[in-house]
Amino acid sequence: MRSVVFLFLAGACLWGQAHVRTGKAAPGKTDTQLEQAIRARFARSKISTNHFQVHVQGGVATLEGQTDVIQHKGTATRLAKTEGAVKVVNRIQISQAARERAMARLAQGRRRAQVRRGEPRADR
């Protein structure tokens, strides 16, 4: 019986630590506070020029707006999660011009050069 209780308590502790580690809960933050925190975080970042709309209900953040930089969509999601959002629904639209620029870069093969360990770098 002791071993069953021990296993139960150990599992509960591990689940609790994983729960906190993954940022699944925003302890002590109401939806309004979470929404204000996300907006403040956006304002301090480079994505502030996009003026994304943020709505939070039940810890779930909904992001809306439009951007000319593809990476800003992912950045907005990441910033909302770091502020404590349980889930992020990202409805940010990427402009057609940004899509066309990305496709042109891919067609030209312009991507980051991947250097294997041990290979000399070209810039040296």
**What's 90's domain CATH number?**
3.30.1340.30
Q: Which residue has the higher pLDDT, 102 or 61?
A: 61
pTM of the model: 0.66
Dist CA 40 CA 43 (whole Å): 5
Are 26 and 86 spatial neighbours (Cβ–Cβ below 8 Å)? yes
**Encoding tokens for residue 14?**
């591990």
Range of the domain at 95: 28-108
CB 22 within 8 A of CB 81: no
Helix and strand numbers (H, E) in the chain are 4, 3
Residue with tokens 């939806």, as numbered in its chain: 31
Contact 26, 34 (CB under 8 A): yes
Residue 42 contacts residue 48 (beta carbons within 8 Å): yes
Residue with the bigger pLDDT between 17 and 49: it is 49
Q: State residue 29's pLDDT score.
A: 87
Confidence of residue 12 (pLDDT cuts 50, 70, 90): low
pLDDT of residue 56: 97
Within a domain: residue 20? no
**Closest listed residue to residue 88, CA positions, set 46, 124, 41:** 41
- Overall domain count for the chain: 1
Angle subtended at Cα 30 by Cα 81 and Cα 23, rounded to the nearest 5 degrees: 30
Instruction: Evaluate whether residue 38 is within a structural domain.
Output: yes
- 43-66 confidence digits (pLDDT tens): 999 999 999 999 999 999 999 999
Could you tell me which residues come within 8 angstroms of residue 81 by beta carbon, excluding any fewer than 6 positions away? 23, 88
